[in-house]
Amino acid sequence: MTNVKEHKNITCTFCGALCDNIEVEVENNQIKKLRNVCAISRKKYEHALEDRTVPMINGQKSDYQSVITKAAEILKNSKNPLIYGLSSTTAEGQKNAVKLAELSGANIDSTSSVCHGPGTMAKQLVGMVTATLGEIKNRSDLMLFWGANPVEAHPNHSKRYSILAEGLFKKNRSEREIIAFDVRKTPTAKMADHYVELEPGKDFELLMALRLLINGKELNSEKDEIAGVKITEIKEIAEKLKNAKYGSIFYGMGLTMTGAKYMNTWAAMSLIRDLNSYGRFVMMPMRGHGNVAGSEITMAWQTGYPFAVNFSRAYPRYNPGEYTAVDLLANKEVDAAFIIASDPAANLPHQAAAFLKEIPTIVLDPHWNLTTDLADVIIPSAIKGITATGTVYRMDHVPLHLRSFLEDQWPDDAEAVSRIGELIENA
Amino acid sequence: MLKLKNALIYDPKNNKAGVKEDIWIENEKIVAEPSERKIKELKEKDILEEIDLENKIVMAGGVDIHSHIAGPKVNSGRVLRPEDHRRDNVPRKGKLRSGVGSTVPSSYVTGYRYSLMGYTTVMEAAGPPMKAKHIHEEFNDLPFIDKGFLVLSGNNYFVLKFISENNFTALKNYLAWLIDVTGAFALKVVNPGGVEAWKEGKRMRGIHNKGTSFNLSPSEILLALAKANDELGIPHAIHVHTNDLGTAGNFKTTNETLQLLKDYRVHVTHIQFSSYGKTENDKVKFITATDQVAAEINRQPKLTVDIGQLVFGEATTMTADGILEYNLHKLSGNKWVNTDVEMETGSGIVPMNYKKKNLVNDIQWATGMELFLKIEDPWKVFLTTDHPNAGPFTAYPWIIKLLMDSNYRNDYISGMHKNFDDYTDLSNLTREYDLSEIAVISRSGPAKALGLENKGHLGVGADADITVYDNLEKRDIAEVFAKPKYVFKSGRMIVKDGELITELQSGKTLMTKPDYDPQIAEDIREEFQKYYSISIDNYGVTDNYYKKVEVVPCNFKG
């Protein structure tokens, strides 16, 4: 006899857009049908129960309790450990990780530091004018995409929150004007009314040019262009920005991780701030990982700081550039690493990732990845939003509660981290 | 069982002012003195603990009716201000987690510092419903104190829609549903209509003009919410942040609001920010208008207010009043965060540094002080700094000293701007608060206004939340109130000799559950699904977020 169960309003955790309208049909602990998923999440769901990690120590199969004990031992014996990742685990897992960092005098950092972290640093300089996604859907008459390509990276974004969404005051595509800024004509740019192609690495210049115009200053350029864009075109754009009733800008890593890095976002934040002297204007970072926003949120309420925190003095200290994972690893300053729900071997610069091979490295992850290949200890875990419950924060900091709909043999991240913490605390 | 003996009890609710009595505590509550036989039995079994409080002042634990301590706006303030934390580090100690302090402390440190000051109940002042899960997540990391939150409702789409449709039944059902699904305690109303106007790119002034797409005036919104709140029997009044807050001449709007709502229960919060006059031929523009506002408060029997006393030094302003923070940013040039929350509210954050040499700041400081001294009945006026807006809550002991000691107050005034006396008559006010009045404004009054019958007093049946201070003889008043000798929370000692006991303890989350017809959730479903960006089925706070809950009954009757 088969037992088919339907689950509605499931939250997909694979990107920062956190669509919460997924429908799943389950039979014999297998996904039979999926509705409302995008191409990316369909693959993730369909292969969720494949390639699962098992407890391993030094390349040998082990058992769950042994890998937990071994992890505690490594962290306890380490003088300056690093806890890193966090963006793909739950808020509950993140909270426990901060406590573990405190107990073991560790550095703790999230993938935010190599993604939208520079934007958070820019926010600390000027602040940020933002809104929840529904607000933008409901009100925004002018939408800008800057170094962001949601059509490929957040496939349901345009339908649910932006270009094509039905809003309260703005009902459809024809009531919105869309401008895309990028270095190549992305699929998102193809959906826009205007595409502005700028020279790679010149975002700061273009943003500052717009800011000058907004503030009533003149633009001068010998070549009659800035960042590869004609002055006349920049002036036309500035007029559009000034005339928006409720403008919005979605920005991606094309802005935060290129050229002037955090000063790019600083320029964008300053521009958007200034535009509020005309109409309303808001901005939204297109966060990638499902709960990377949560990693900043949970760390902030416990430590006061969003990432790059060090506990060697028994209280939190914050210094991006010093306590950020890339720097700690590349400078060979840490003597052990605990990677939670992330794949630094695939994503960090080579010099930083390579150092993980030289120090005891623990990985907590439901799936095999490049980092598990070089790990000394592997702790398997349940999959958030599929076999594990918990809390995740969307790119606009809206919290959502995850339910599980499949069964798993492994405890979730929060429990694994908590058990390691208890072993250290009670040692 | 615990016996606190020989205490000098200040318990205004039970008419005790310095009465020497014993307090008996059992199972987290204050109980009647047991029979002699029972006492003998307890002694024989060695389960009677006694603490001698000879010559010590004893009050109920402090109750803060309005403070920003948890949730998305507070946390965004933390992220915004690393410079605020760096000078105030709190290391891990025993089981006490580490953190940072200053104007926007981390969650643990917020719990520690309220406890160290003898406060045991704090109301988070403004929560956006859509992010309520975040508030409850933080509450679970906010140790020792009992807490609840006020849910923002003055610019909510469904609230405005039902009022504009004259559908009062739906309004009541919706508000009760909102409180239920978000785990809130009571209703907060911030610049009603004005925040929606800000989101529409418009400006509103006063309470009588209509100015948004809902075609409603703030007075229509206020009246409907006050009436609904009374009919729902919610233990606390509607908690109002007035229109035109922070602007010169706003006392007129404030008094109009008070008169408009005179037939209903109203609590007007941080009224200092709403009690300014305007001087036309003067570039300072601001002047105190406390005579007019205090007179209206003194006239009205049901009304309560808290002050939002300004404190010189660093502060972090944060409010759901988005337009106000935009104005503060334009005025100060300081960094500015704004977050518009779909269908519900706005919000903003701007750091500030209030300076004694800034005449406008001096006038704001004097406005708060004057209100404390001109409002006759202490049961109508409560001690707050609208933390961290007008200053941090850790300044309460200093404010108590200013109220109790007019010599100190006058000395302090002598360091103000040279033109200070042209704008305020504070120098002429000689009133001094006594200990009973301090007990009213810092615990008994706020507890009564919140409808917390078990808080703010030391009678039989009260929660055993108790603060023990040294006697004031030959001691600095501010020091005594900053460092209680002992603090008991739910019958357990959490502070001894000014230090936290190094065990973490969780306080309760206070909620209300007004009755409603559950059909309301179905009635709003279609619009919700269209215009929110999450499903209504994922909107409510689920039970897994609640650790220790106390549901306060909705038994107010008009």
Domain architecture of chain A: domains with CATH: 53-114+290-387+408-425 (3.40.50.740), 117-285 (3.40.228.10)
**Could you tell me if A97 and A417 are in contact, meaning their C-beta atoms sit under 8 angstroms apart?**
yes
Taking an 8 Å cut-off on Cβ atoms, the answer to whether A276 and B530 are in contact is no
Do the Cβ atoms of A9 and B537 come within 8 Å? Answer: yes
Which amino acid is residue B546, in one-letter code? Y
Give the nearest partner residue to B98 out of A125, A127, A316, using CB atoms: A316
CA dihedral A22, A27, A28, A29 (to 10 degrees): 0
Q: What are the DSSP E strand ranges found in A40-88?
A: 56-57, 60-61, 81-85
CB B33 within 8 A of CB B98: no
List C-alpha distances in Å: A377 to A63, A313, A346, A373, B140.
11, 27, 18, 10, 32
d(CA B476, CA B398): 10
Residue in A closest to B543 by C-alpha: A401
Q: What is the pLDDT of residue B502?
A: 80
What pLDDT was estimated at residue A206?
97
Q: CB neighbours (10 Å) of residue B50? A: 13
Which A positions 353-372 lie with beta carbon below 8 A of chain B? Answer: none
For residue B100, give how far its alpha carbon lies from the nearest alpha carbon of chain A (Å): 6
Answer for the pair B104, B74: CB distance below 8 angstroms, yes or no: yes
- Out of A167, A273, A296, the one facing B336 most closely (by C-beta) is A273
A372-425 pLDDT, tens digit each: 999 999 999 999 999 999 999 999 999 999 999 999 999 999 999 999 999 999
Q: Report the alpha-carbon distance of residue A183 to residue A186 in Å, rounded.
A: 9
A44's CB contacts (< 8 A; 6+ apart) are A12, A14
Contacts of B32 (CB under 8 A, 6+ apart): B24, B460
Q: At what angle do helices B251-260 and B218-232 cross, to 10 degrees?
A: 40
Cβ-proximal residues to B213 (8 Å cutoff; 6+ apart), any chain: A169, B196, B200
Please tell me the distance in Å from A71's CA to the nearest CA on chain B. Answer: 22
- Residues in chain A within 8 Å Cβ distance of B343: 134-135, 138, 168
Please report the pLDDT score of residue A1 as a whole number.
53
Residue A308 in 3-state DSSP?
coil
> What is the side-by-side order of every strand in the sheet holding A30-35?
A4-10, A22-27, A30-35
Contact yes or no for B201 and A246 at CB 8 A:
yes
The residue of chain B with its CA nearest to that of A22 is B535
The C-alpha of B545 sits at a distance from chain A's nearest C-alpha, in angstroms, of 10
Of B79, B141, B340, the CB nearest to A306: B79
Look at residues B505, B435, B507 and name the one whose alpha carbon lies nearest to residue B471: B435
| Residues B106, A132: C-beta atoms closer than 8 Å | no
**Residue B92 corresponds to which amino acid?**
R
Compute and round to an integer the Cα radius of gyration of chain B. Answer: 23
Which of A133, A245, A301 faces B141 most closely, judged by CB atoms? Answer: A301
- Which residues are CB-neighbours of B230 under 8 A, at least 6 positions away? B264, B265, B556, B558
Q: Which residues contact A111 (CB under 8 A, 6 or more apart)?
A: A84, A85, A86, A87, A289, A292, A295, A342, A347
Q: How far is CA A358 from the centre of its chain?
A: 28
Distant-in-sequence, close-in-space partners of A89: CB < 8 Å, separation ≥ 6: A97, A291, A340, A341, A384, A390, A413, A414
Q: Are residues A101 and A244 in contact, defined by beta-carbon separation less than 8 angstroms?
A: no
Which chain A residues are closer than 8 Å to B535 by Cβ? 9, 20-21
Residues of B in contact with A304 (CB under 8 A): 78, 82, 84-85, 99-100, 104-106
Closest CB to A126: pick one of B91, B141, B335. B335
Query: Would you state the structure tokens that stand for residue B25, as one six-digit string?
Result: 């505590």
- Residue to substitute from B338, B542, B544, interface A, most A β-carbons within 10 A: B338
Q: Which of B76, B201, B537 shows the shortest C-beta gap to A245? A: B201
CB-nearest to B533 from A126, A161, A245 is A161
> Beta strands of B27-79 (E only): which ranges?
29-31, 49-52, 57-60, 62-67
CB contact under 8 A, A132 and B533: yes
Q: Are B535 and A9 in contact (CB under 8 A)?
A: yes
Residues of A in contact with B336 (CB under 8 A): 126-127, 129, 273
Give the span between the Cα atoms of B55 and A216, in whole angstroms: 69
In the structure encoding, which two tokens stand for residue B152, read together? Answer: 């923002």
| Cα separation values, B22 from B53, B119, B253, B294, B439, Å | 9, 21, 48, 38, 18
Calculate how close chain A gets to B126, using CA atoms only, in Å. 16
The CA distance from A246 to the nearest CA of chain B, in Å, is 8
Strands A56-57 and A60-61: antiparallel
Q: Is the Cβ–Cβ distance between B188 and B154 less than 8 Å?
A: yes
Judge if pTM exceeds 0.95. yes
Q: Are the beta carbons of A132 and B341 separated by less than 8 Å?
A: yes
CB contact under 8 Å between A303 and B100, yes or no, is yes
Residue bearing tokens 């401008």: A179
Taking the C-alpha atoms of residue B177 and residue A116, their distance in angstroms, rounded to an integer, is 37
Residues in chain B, total:
558
**What is the token pair recorded at A381?**
């875990």
pLDDT at A2 (0 to 100): 65
pLDDT in tens, chain A (427 residues): 568 999 999 999 999 999 999 999 999 999 999 999 999 999 999 999 999 999 999 999 999 999 999 999 999 999 999 999 999 999 999 999 999 999 999 999 999 888 778 889 999 999 999 999 999 999 999 999 999 999 999 999 999 999 999 999 999 999 999 999 999 999 999 999 999 999 999 999 999 999 999 999 999 889 999 999 999 999 999 999 999 999 999 999 889 888 888 899 999 999 999 999 999 999 999 988 889 999 999 999 999 999 999 999 999 999 999 999 999 999 999 999 999 999 999 999 999 999 999 999 999 999 999 999 999 999 999 999 999 999 999 999 999 999 999 999 999 999 999 999 999 999 8
CB pairs under 8 A between A and B: 188
Say if the Cβ atoms of A129 and B336 lie within 8 Å.
Answer: yes
Contact A364, A343 (CB under 8 A): no
CB contact under 8 A, A315 and B98: yes
Which residues make beta-bridge pairs with A10?
A: A22
Q: Identify which of B110, B253, B111 has the alpha carbon closest to the alpha carbon of residue B191.
A: B253
pLDDT of the residue at A116: 79
Query: Which residue of B lies nearest to A130 if distances are taken between CA atoms?
Result: B339
Q: How far does A87 lie from chain B, in Å, by closest CA?
A: 17
Contact B273, B386 (CB under 8 A): yes
Locus of tokens 């918990």: A390
Residue A426, CB half-sphere, CA atoms under 13 Å: how many? 7
Please tell me which of the candidates B89, B99, B531 has its beta carbon nearest to residue A302.
Answer: B99
Task: For residue A172, count other CB atoms closer than 10 A to its CB.
Answer: 11
Strands A377-379 and B2-11, bridge-based pairing: unpaired
Q: B185 vs B24, B175, B355, B510, CA distance in Å?
A: 30, 12, 35, 6
Are A147 and A286 spatial neighbours (Cβ–Cβ below 8 Å)? no
Q: What are phi and psi of A221, to 5 degrees?
A: -155, 130
Instruction: Say if residues B277 and B291 touch (Cβ distance below 8 Å).
Output: no
Which residue among A120, A168, A304 places its CB closest to the CB of B99? Answer: A304
Q: Which residues of B touch A95 (CB under 8 A)?
A: 141
**How far is A397 from A419, CA to CA, in rounded Å?**
28
Q: Does A398 contact B at CB distance below 8 Å?
A: yes
CA-based nearest residue in chain B for residue A391: B133
Q: Is the peptide bond before B388 cis (omega within 30 degrees of 0)?
A: yes
Distances (CA, A) of A33 to A7, A24, A407, B333, B534: 10, 6, 17, 54, 22
Helix axes A117-126, A262-275, angle to 10 degrees: 50
Q: Which two tokens stand for residue B433?
A: 């608060």
Identify the segments of chain B with pLDDT beneath 70: 558
- Tens digits of per-residue pLDDT, A189-244? 999 999 999 999 999 999 999 999 999 999 988 999 999 999 999 999 999 999 99
Cα distances from B457 to residues B11, B467, B483, in angstroms, run 6, 11, 20
Contacts of A128 in chain B (CB under 8 A): 337-338
In angstroms, what separates the C-alpha of A21 from chain B's closest C-alpha? 7
Q: What single-letter DSSP state applies at residue B34?
A: P
Q: Contact, B297 vs B256, CB < 8 A?
A: no
In order of start, what are the domains of chain B with their CATH numbers? Answer: 60-450 (3.20.20.140)
CB contact burial A254-281 (16+ within 10 A = b; e otherwise): bbbbbbbbbbbbbbbbbbbbbbbeebbb
Disruptive mutation site among A90, A123, A301, A312 for chain B (greatest number of B CBs within 10 Å): A301
Chain A residues lying within 8 Å of B133, measured CB to CB: 391, 399-401
Which H helix or E strand runs over B231? helix B218-232
Q: How many CA atoms lie within 13 A of B511 on its CB side?
A: 25
Q: Which of residues 280-339 of A touch B (CB under 8 A)?
A: 280, 282, 296-298, 300-306, 311, 313-318
In chain A, whose CA is at the least distance from the CA of B104? A304
Predicted complex ipTM: 0.97
